[in-house]
Amino acid sequence: MSHAQYFLEATYLIASCLFVLGLKGLSHPDTARRGMIMAAAGMAAAVIGTLFHPDIHNYLYIAIGLILGSSIGIPMAMVPMTAMPQRTALSHAFGALAASMVGIAEYVIHGSKLGPVKVGALGLEVMLGSLTVTGSLIAAAKLQELMRGTPIMFKGQQIFNLALFIVMVGSFVAWIVNPAAQMFFYTMVGCAFVFGIMLVIPIGAADMPVVMSLLNSYAGLSSAATGFVLGNNVLIIAGTLDGFSGFILSILMCRAMNRSITNVLFGGFGAAVTQETAVTGSMREVGLDDVAVQLAYANQVVFVPGYGMATAQAQHACRELGNILEERGISVKYAIHPVAGRMPGHMNVLLAEANVPYSSLYEMEQINPEMQSTDVAVVIGANDVVNPDARDNPKSLIAGMPIIEVDKAKSVVVLKRGKGKGFSGLENPLFFKPVTGMLYGDAKTSLTNLVQAVQKV
């Protein structure tokens, strides 16, 4: 090994350690930023080390790529926090695209000279990478509402998908046996691109947290496979860390919805009409002033945000209301359901943006025991995560999904745009309970008006 290669390997070792330490830093908000700086330093070290790679003769294309990438990447980091889910999905697409292009390039360059293990790893890399690219793009389009967020189903979809999958895996195996056969390779790549689309279109926008985590996992595993192709350990380590993080997140998200991964992927949630309890009674509409009085004389108020808060951009107004209540000596808490919003931790980030300290953010398990002693629970644009049917009606589509039990609070106020059903199309019996009052209108306007009304009380 030359000196340059020792230097290279040393930077890769440092990078691997810094990545692990960086992720370890994320276990607490206080150490998280330092951790990220370490991980970024690790990345910088690995990149600088690679620039000294003995095989590199021409820096032109590298420079073009680095400059072009930064000039797209930096503006992409400046998007508003409400656009976080689609930005992350888009970012998954780019990461996977890089991995799959490295794979295709490796095959173009070395062709059938690659040994079977490398061929196998390369196939996995390109397959996972390609399906993540199109899958993430569809997810981003759904989140950005460029296409409708409801599941897209058609007749014979399952059979089509199965056939596609068989052709994809079949050409993969055929190609491993005969690596010189380019046709099999490109058939596999083509099938993977189509399969990525087919994988995400039947999934509703409300299930996006799971899909995002899963795509995150695929992008990571694709990078890890690149590591096997190139015989490079830092790629294996970083890719595996990413792959497992996505995997763990998808399991957590599924658990928070009491559904299996297969059910999320192939269930076509919300498209099927299932049994619902006939809800009787009527929704009780409440006035702004009534709510203001309730809030002003409460001891404890819990806000339960959902995706509606993100679409209405109501996080700042929510914080304002919280501030005013706190100034009156009222205990204010924010209850966050694990799948509220469109990606894991979505609500936490929005509230943090609005300057809500993280010590006021409570997880579902922490806040549920306190619900009985809560005077007013304010539901802001959340629906399924507070649907008592999940707990009470075993026939419900969301039966068994853990919920934030707002209906146990002494009083519930639901901020809702209109009388329509929630995203999943399920009726929510919470809205019909005597304890619940409905405050219709745009969440942001309602909250701003409540701030003024509370000040007058």
Which residue numbers are catalytic?
384
User: Which of 9, 290 has the CB closer to other proteins?
Assistant: 9
The residue from 149, 196, 243, 308 that contacts other proteins (CB under 8 A) is 243
> What gap in Å lies between CA 188 and CA 279, rounded to an integer?
50
The count of C-alpha atoms lying within 13 angstroms of the C-alpha of 426, restricted to the half-sphere facing its C-beta, is 26
The residue from 231, 287, 369, 400 that contacts other proteins (CB under 8 A) is 231
Interaction between residue 196 and other proteins (CB under 8 A): no
The residue from 135, 204, 239, 381 that contacts other proteins (CB under 8 A) is 239
User: What SS3 class is residue 404?
Assistant: coil
Interaction between residue 27 and other proteins (CB under 8 A): yes
Place of tokens 């409400």: 82
CB-based burial, 129-157: b 16+ in 10 Å, e otherwise: bbbbbbbbbbbbbbbeeeeebbbbeeeee
The residue from 237, 264, 401, 451 that contacts other proteins (CB under 8 A) is 237
Interaction between residue 369 and other proteins (CB under 8 A): no
Tell me the torsion sign for CA atoms 304, 308, 313, 314.
negative
Binding to other proteins by CB under 8 A, coded x per residue (else -) over 101-130, reads xx-xxx-xxx-xxxxxxxxx----------
The residue from 72, 162, 163, 271 that contacts other proteins (CB under 8 A) is 72
The residue from 5, 158, 182, 233 that contacts other proteins (CB under 8 A) is 233
> Minimum distance between the CB of residue 286 and other proteins, rounded to whole angstroms?
25
Please return the burial class of 292, using the count of CB atoms within 10 Å of its CB with bins 0-12, 13-18 and 19+: buried
The residue from 7, 13, 50, 408 that contacts other proteins (CB under 8 A) is 50
Interaction between residue 355 and other proteins (CB under 8 A): yes
User: What SS3 class is residue 426?
Assistant: coil
Contact 387, 352 (CB under 8 A): no
Using CB under 8 A, which of the segments 20-28, 144-152, 198-206, 377-385 binds other proteins?
20-28
Q: State the SS3 of 40-54.
A: HHHHHHHHHHHHCCC
> Minimum distance between the CB of residue 418 and other proteins, rounded to whole angstroms?
29
Footprint on residues 174-193 left by other proteins (CB under 8 A): 176-177
The residue from 127, 211, 230, 380 that contacts other proteins (CB under 8 A) is 230
The residue from 190, 345, 388, 441 that contacts other proteins (CB under 8 A) is 345
Using CB under 8 A, which of the segments 197-205, 346-354, 381-389, 404-412 binds other proteins?
346-354
The residue from 13, 14, 17, 23 that contacts other proteins (CB under 8 A) is 23
User: Which of 24, 419 has the CB closer to other proteins?
Assistant: 24
Interaction between residue 74 and other proteins (CB under 8 A): yes
> Minimum distance between the CB of residue 336 and other proteins, rounded to whole angstroms?
7
User: Which of 167, 349 has the CB closer to other proteins?
Assistant: 349
Contact 371, 408 (CB under 8 A): yes
Give the list of residues 6+ apart from residue 65 with CB closer than 8 angstroms, or none: none
User: Which of 68, 153 has the CB closer to other proteins?
Assistant: 68
Interaction between residue 92 and other proteins (CB under 8 A): yes
Binding to other proteins by CB under 8 A, coded x per residue (else -) over 155-174, reads --------------x---x-
Start-to-end CA span in the chain (Å): 78
What's the alpha-carbon Rg for the chain, to the nearest Å?
25
**Residue 80: how many other CB atoms lie within 10 Å:** 10
**Residue 358: how many other CB atoms lie within 10 Å:** 11
> What gap in Å lies between CA 20 and CA 22, rounded to an integer?
5
Place of tokens 């300057």: 355
Q: Identify which of 39, 308, 334 has the alpha carbon closest to the alpha carbon of residue 47.
A: 39
> Minimum distance between the CB of residue 113 and other proteins, rounded to whole angstroms?
4
> What gap in Å lies between CA 60 and CA 2, rounded to an integer?
24
Interaction between residue 319 and other proteins (CB under 8 A): no
In sequence order, what are the beta bridge partners of 379? 304, 414
User: Which of 151, 246 has the CB closer to other proteins?
Assistant: 246
CA distances from 383 to 341, 410, 426 (A): 11, 19, 9
User: Which of 129, 437 has the CB closer to other proteins?
Assistant: 129
Footprint on residues 246-305 left by other proteins (CB under 8 A): 246, 248-249, 252
Q: What angle do CA 87, 88, 91 make, to 5 degrees?
A: 90
> Minimum distance between the CB of residue 384 and other proteins, rounded to whole angstroms?
18
Count, residues near other proteins per rule CB under 8 A: 129
